[in-house]
Amino acid sequence: PAGDSASPQKREHWSGQTAFILAAIGSAVGLGNIWRFPGEAYENGGGAFMVPYLIALLTAGIPILFLENAIGHRFRGSAPLAMRRVHRNAEGVGWFHVAICFVIGLYYTAVIAWSLSYFWFSFGLDYADDPAGFFFNDYLQLGSDVTLSAQIVPSVALPLILVWALTIGILALGIHKGVERLNVVGIPLLVVTFGILAFRALSLPGASDGIEALFTPDFSVLTDPEVWIAAYGQVFFSLSLAYGVMITYASYRRRRSNVTGPALVVAFGNSSFSLLAGLAVFATLGFLAQTQGVGVDELENITGVSLSFVTFPAVIAQMPGGQFFGALFFASLVLAGLTSLISVIQTISAAFQDKFGWNPRIAAVAVGLVSAVLSVLGFSTASGLYLLDTVDQWSNQLGIVAGAVGMIAAALWFGRRGHELERHLAAVSTIRPGRYWPVLINVIALLLIYMFVSKAVSLAID
């Protein structure tokens, strides 16, 4: 098999199927589940969002997850190498994935670094008195008037450097000793820490009000295209699709591996985690609403950055045992984030390993150092927070749609590999994708093109 590889070294392998599944779940379960999913669901019809979400999962998430796994497993390369083997002119699609990973890695690290700081702050409940003021003024040091400041804030730079050092260290150990070990320990641990949190959240007074708010369905949203776009976007982001990540991870599986079965485990494991996070987050919000004597729908700051760094600290401060649960919450964010970040940076590092024959150590250090410098410059200054939003819009909403369409076009339209990949999956896997699978992927591509155009137009108008 080594003769099939462009790089001089033998390709690394996961030790087995479970290791792969845990690593892929590690990539999928991240800030997107804890932060993004509950808010998206709440804003897009509450309980009714489950309908487009499930449809998006079944019609796009799983088919594209199969596609990336098939490409990685059959063509055995990081994104650029695998895409070049799919079609000789498609290497650029893979580098595009790598570029998006690079961007997302920078901002993902920032959030992990903040969580690491907040893990630390939880022991003394430093943020208890005025969570918003603490986050924006004391911690990030965003003055009232700054939108662009280049002053590096040491308390943010330090955890950032720590996260990068950890990332470089883990990746330098390689797939087997580094990435795999992190996930084999980290993911079960995350299930425990987050499980305890969810249990605590669900037993708080007012929890049921929160859950009711999340799941009270507003079926009228089902006719709104924006809601469908949100559902498809959430599924792609959450399953790490169209970033080249799953291609890369699948390329380390052994030749005779069941491909579709584990992919299904990853998809449903990820969605279950999202659901659990949705319950926990809204149970907590129900408690908060009750202590403030307002309805859940009157609460503010219930998504994204403010949810984790303003609203939750406020709840933690009021809760018996807040120090413990606060530390547990931020530790969960760090774990969930780190296992995703590792997959993102590995995707970049693997691309350079395959292209230039670098070993994992050299690639990890090179990619890690460049990213570390840029992320410290970009995110430990006051402008970081503004950057976050812009980056999220362009890379997550536009970039990945382009990355997905490019991949589908290369594999199915120009490379005409649809049936070859289908046969490949059927030959190695327990669950056969079926001959409608390529058809479905074509339909998804059209849908994505529609999403791309409508999002681009709305961004341009802004």
Q: Which residues bind ligand PHE (CB under 6 A)?
A: 27-28, 30-33, 104, 237-238, 240, 243, 245, 340, 343-344
Query: Toward ligand PHE, which CB reaches closer, 334 or 428?
Result: 334
CA dist., res. 214 & res. 210, Å (int)? 6
CA dist., res. 211 & res. 280, Å (int)? 8
Query: Toward ligand PHE, which CB reaches closer, 270 or 383?
Result: 270
CA dist., res. 36 & res. 233, Å (int)? 11
Query: Toward ligand PHE, which CB reaches closer, 104 or 198?
Result: 104
Q: How many residues would you count in the chain? A: 462
CB of 125 to ligand PHE, least distance (A): 27
**Residue 369: CB atoms within 10 Å:** 12
Query: Toward ligand PHE, which CB reaches closer, 30 or 233?
Result: 30
Query: Toward ligand PHE, which CB reaches closer, 262 or 286?
Result: 262
CA dist., res. 132 & res. 147, Å (int)? 18
* Spatial CA neighbour of 316 closest among 297, 331, 336: 331
CB of 208 to ligand PHE, least distance (A): 27
CB of 30 to ligand PHE, least distance (A): 2
Query: Toward ligand PHE, which CB reaches closer, 140 or 344?
Result: 344
CA dist., res. 319 & res. 86, Å (int)? 54
**Residue 176: CB atoms within 10 Å:** 15
CB of 350 to ligand PHE, least distance (A): 13
Query: Toward ligand PHE, which CB reaches closer, 31 or 60?
Result: 31
CA dist., res. 16 & res. 14, Å (int)? 5
CA dist., res. 318 & res. 330, Å (int)? 16
Phi, psi (degrees; rounded to nearest 5) at 302: -110, 15
Contact 244, 403 (CB under 8 A): yes
CB of 421 to ligand PHE, least distance (A): 22
CA dist., res. 400 & res. 391, Å (int)? 12
CB of 179 to ligand PHE, least distance (A): 13
Cβ contacts of residue 368 below 8 Å, gap of 6+? 164, 167, 168, 171, 345, 349
CA dist., res. 49 & res. 230, Å (int)? 9
Return the residue matching tokens 């776009």: 229
CB of 368 to ligand PHE, least distance (A): 16
Cβ contacts of residue 461 below 8 Å, gap of 6+? none
CB of 71 to ligand PHE, least distance (A): 16
**Residue 83: CB atoms within 10 Å:** 29
CB of 28 to ligand PHE, least distance (A): 5
Phi, psi (degrees; rounded to nearest 5) at 127: -90, 5
Paired tokens of 269: 């494991």
Query: Toward ligand PHE, which CB reaches closer, 270 or 381?
Result: 270
CA dist., res. 424 & res. 415, Å (int)? 15
Query: Toward ligand PHE, which CB reaches closer, 31 or 288?
Result: 31
Query: Toward ligand PHE, which CB reaches closer, 128 or 333?
Result: 333
CB of 222 to ligand PHE, least distance (A): 24
CB of 33 to ligand PHE, least distance (A): 5
CA dist., res. 97 & res. 93, Å (int)? 6
CA angle, 432 then 436 then 439, to 5°? 135
Query: Toward ligand PHE, which CB reaches closer, 31 or 62?
Result: 31
